Structure 1
Amino acid sequence: MSRFRVVRSVPLGPEEAWRRLTDWPAHGRQVPLTRTTVLTPGPSGPGTRFTARTGLGPLGFDDPMEVVRWEPPRGDGPGMCRLEKYGRLVRGWAEIEVAPTAGGVRVVWTEELAVRGVPGVFDGVLARAGRVVFGRALDGLLTP
């Protein structure tokens, strides 16, 4: 399994950062050739399921996920969201942490994933690619 972490500090309030980070369709708009579809009605929370589809036309793959932990930031307290990835090709989890700071918030995205058919010897390459892709996605989501 490949694990990576991306950290950003931004001048946003915790609630606004949380709103942006948990707007699942917005994630798809930040990742090239990806569209995210929410599969469960209503507001996000535990049990919310969505799929990120990456590819062109019929050539691509689905990355289905479910929210299994949902603790929005309240007051001066941090927030945490955990996603479980349960696809045929991609499995693992992601955690999004939002913590208030003096100048805004600190966001930490941690992800651990395995890609079917990719040997563990490539975990470092996957981690570096994940940091780049999700770093750019976070920058796009969090830019005021």
Structure 2
Amino acid sequence: MARFVLTRHSPLPPADCWARLTCWPRHGDRVPLTRVGVVRGTGRQLGDVVLARTALGPLRFDDPMELVEFAPPARCRLAKRGRVVRGGAELLVRPVGAGSEVVWAEELRITGVPRLFDPAVALAGRLLFGRVLDHLLAAPPPATG
């Protein structure tokens, strides 16, 4: 299984970091050819499902992620339950001084990709999801309705 951990420090308070991290559609803003949305529930409760759908013409796959732990504003765990992508992700937010420390950890298994390539998959994950995390923390706060 490919594993990686990203850590960022933000001047934002934990509640603001949490709101940005759990604004699920914004995750797709920096993932090429991918849209992200909540397909079951509100995206704020155990059992809710967030779906990342990647498509290029007729080639497409879904990455459904079930919320298996949701403890605002500190911890969220998602189980990846797709046919192509399996594993899980954990998002942590901790207060540090007047700001926050944000940790994004993932374990990925991509169907059809030999374990020999786990280091390459982890590197790609660090690069891709590092862009997503940086974007989320820099983005304006999500609108609340």
Q: TM-score, normalised by structure 1?
A: 0.92
Matching residue within 95, 106, 116 for 1:100: 95
Deviation at 1:43, TM superposition (A): 5.3
Aligned residue in 1 for 2:61: 61
Percent identity reads 53
Aligned residue identity for 1:41: G
- Distance in 1, matches of 2:60 and 2:43, equals 28
- Alignment of structure 1 residues 1-144 onto 2, 5 Å: 1-42=1-42, 44-73=44-73, 79-143=74-138
- Distance in 1, matches of 2:99 and 2:71, equals 18
Deviation at 1:29, TM superposition (A): 1.5
- Distance in 2, matches of 1:23 and 1:48, equals 14
Verify the 8 A CA contact 1:10 1:103 in the aligned structure 2: no
Q: Once superposed, which parts of structure 1, at least 4 consecutive aligned residues long, lie more than 2 Å away? A: none
**Over residues 29-59 of structure 1, what are the superposed CA-to-partner deviations in whole Å (9 max), with x where a residue is unaligned?**
2212110121123351211102101122321
- Distance in 2, matches of 1:42 and 1:128, equals 31
Q: Which has the higher mean CA deviation after the structures are superposed, 48-57 or 119-128?
A: 48-57
- Distance in 2, matches of 1:28 and 1:71, equals 23
| Partner SS state of residue 46, structure 1 | coil
**Over residues 82-132 of structure 1, what are the superposed CA-to-partner deviations in whole Å (9 max), with x where a residue is unaligned?**
000000011000000000001410000000010010000000000000000
In the alignment, structure 2 segments of 5+ residues that lack a partner are 140-145
In the alignment, structure 1 segments of 5+ residues that lack a partner are 74-78
Aligned length: 139
| Partner SS state of residue 39, structure 1 | strand
Q: Which has the higher mean CA deviation after the structures are superposed, 33-42 or 89-98?
A: 33-42
Verify the 8 A CA contact 2:43 2:49 in the aligned structure 1: no
